[in-house]
Amino acid sequence: MTTFKEELLQKMSSGIPFFHIVTHEEARVEDDVLDVARDFQSYVWEWTCTSGLKLIMTKDEDDNMIAARELQKDYFEDVSIPEDTNELNTMLQTIPKADMIVNPGMENRHIFLLKDAYHHLTDAQSVRFLRDIYEFCSSSQIFVIFVSPKLHIPLDLEKIVNVIDYQLPTKKDIESIFDQTVRDANNSVPENFNDSGEIKKKLVRDFTPSKDLREQLVAAAIGMTTLEAREVFQLAIVRHGEFNKDAIETIQDEKAQVVKKSGVLEYYKPPTKTGFGSIGGVKKLKEWLKIKQKGFTDKAREYGLEPPKGILLIGTPGGGKTLVAKSIGIEWGIPTLKFDVALVFDKYVGESEKKIDNVFKVADSIGNCVLWVDEIEKALAGSSGDSDGNGVTKKVLGKILTYMNDKTSEVFIVATANDPRKLPPELFRKGRFDESFVVDLPSEEERKEIFDIHIRKRKRDSKKFDLNKLAKNSENMVGAEIEEAVKTAMYIAFDENREFTTEDIITAIKSTKSLYETRKEDIDYIRDWAKDNARAAGDGAGQNMSLPQKKNRRTKLNIAK
């Protein structure tokens, strides 16, 4: 993969003069540009609206490139920069005159690093001037780089400004930041002095964590900027006095803030860490997921396997789809990001597409994580037509499908849906999801397992309950209804100041109108549909059921090729 510095150097060498880099990390971009300038033998200028134009890299008498930060200030004092360059339009006038300022009579390369200039590019004169000097800059090897956290290019400049993606720090970068933080913390340990002011001894405090813990701390910070990672490592030391398991949670909490700023993603923090142990049934799905987890290992890469893409879970509400989606990240020990597709849609043209691009960019930056899309069919309703006026839903679907098809990152997508009839057929094409599963009503054995989980969850001995009897009396109930029956039984017994029993739960079951009774036709349709389009997640009640034959009942999806 081409690095930012390699890409910038290649494009500058080809004569492209104008660039736009979208990032919050000005300092890191500046470091990279200075490195490129050394290789390219180029002067570097920096502009902000507060400080105006400054020369930050020049040549010494031996033609070696030196930066202002390297304290060779005498090389910069004689540079005569025009006054009032705080104004963008005034500063731009100096670009064609750069050689005259630093080295009259000689032709040199120059890079102008303009920070947050988009705020000032509303001036027609500035935009026109940039268009006027485009060819001159290209032939004179003068380069203008706009740096800002927001992509904003005036329409007049769109065809002449080259946008370069600036990736967040890699795992190797985060490791360097972490190791530097540890060194700084170890060096800051205070010394103990005697009454005469002499050093008696240096207090021993080593903040260096174990190798495994270091790996977990670094992994937790992936997806943050350099500044965010440095600050969160420092916060962990201050809060906990050392790097420990609690420090990982602190980093994850701070990362949740980073994810939240996307406006569409939510960093899901589970109330418990029980994983698949909190889910009854869906045995086949759990086994499939355990196999797929191995696909994220280095061993899988060496074997030639690509990272798993994701799964689509379909079934009735309360059947356990959401519970599975929430538990995968816990079971695998990776973060879960909840993606509310409905929040992507914006009334302004083009904004919805930008938001969804940002969602995938944030998810990719996190690295190995679960991207959970709940009830995806509601957000994508109408994607087959132009019902929203300008086809925004269709464009958003196109972005999602392209990402799913082309992604190489370790983001595992888990989408849930209640009604397959509302899903666009393109979603089922091979190469998007690894597999589609149907979560059916639990079988008798699965209901027995679910009762066992919910009774033990409430700190009761499940052996004191007749689980077989409970399972037989709860036919066609989903997991959520079983849980509610246990809770209702507890209220019955609590009101009578005693422990709840098997009979209390059966009483609660009999007073429950199950989802199957109210939505039998929908559930039967999903079972029928699943025969041709999805795998069974478990040994559900409908797996061996013979459905009543109806004319034109079966609807086999027309899968997009």
DSSP states of 411-425: EEEEEEES-GGGS-G
Residue with the bigger pLDDT between 206 and 196: it is 206
What is the CATH classification number for the domain harbouring 449? 1.10.8.60
Same domain? For 427 and 289 the reply is yes
Same domain? For 383 and 291 the reply is yes
Q: Is residue 535 part of a domain?
A: no
The model's pLDDT over 62-94, given as tens digits with 9 standing for 90+, comes to 667 777 665 445 545 556 677 788 999 999 999
Residue with the bigger pLDDT between 497 and 170: it is 497
Q: Given pLDDT bands bounded at 50, 70 and 90, which one contains residue 343?
A: confident
- As given in the structure block, the two tokens for residue 396 are 């958003």
- What gap in Å lies between CA 408 and CA 344, rounded to an integer? 23
Same domain? For 137 and 221 the reply is no
**Mean per-residue pLDDT of the chain:** 85
Average pLDDT of span 468-479: 95
Same domain? For 123 and 26 the reply is yes
Return the residue matching tokens 């990402």: 403
What is the CATH classification number for the domain harbouring 94? 3.40.50.300
Please check the confidence at residue 451 and state whether its pLDDT lies above 60. Answer: yes
Total structural domains within the chain: 4
Residue with the bigger pLDDT between 364 and 450: it is 450
Q: Is residue 299 part of a domain?
A: yes
Closest alpha carbon to 182 in 249, 252, 244, 243: 243
Same domain? For 255 and 379 the reply is no
Please check the confidence at residue 406 and state whether its pLDDT lies above 90. Answer: no
Closest alpha carbon to 18 in 165, 159, 166, 167: 159
Same domain? For 303 and 202 the reply is no
Please check the confidence at residue 398 and state whether its pLDDT lies above 70. Answer: yes
Return the residue matching tokens 């061993």: 299
Beta strands in 303-368 (DSSP E): 310-315, 336-339
Average pLDDT of span 449-474: 95
Do 322 and 249 meet the contact criterion of CB atoms below 8 Å apart? Answer: no
The burial class, CB within 10 Å (0-12 / 13-18 / 19+), for 138 is middle
Same domain? For 136 and 176 the reply is no
Same domain? For 90 and 177 the reply is no
Phi and psi, residue 60, nearest 5°: -90, -175
Domain boundaries, position 131 = 4-165
Q: Is residue 462 part of a domain?
A: yes
Phi and psi, residue 159, nearest 5°: -85, -10
Same domain? For 435 and 448 the reply is no
- What integer pLDDT is reported at residue 549 of this predicted model? 43
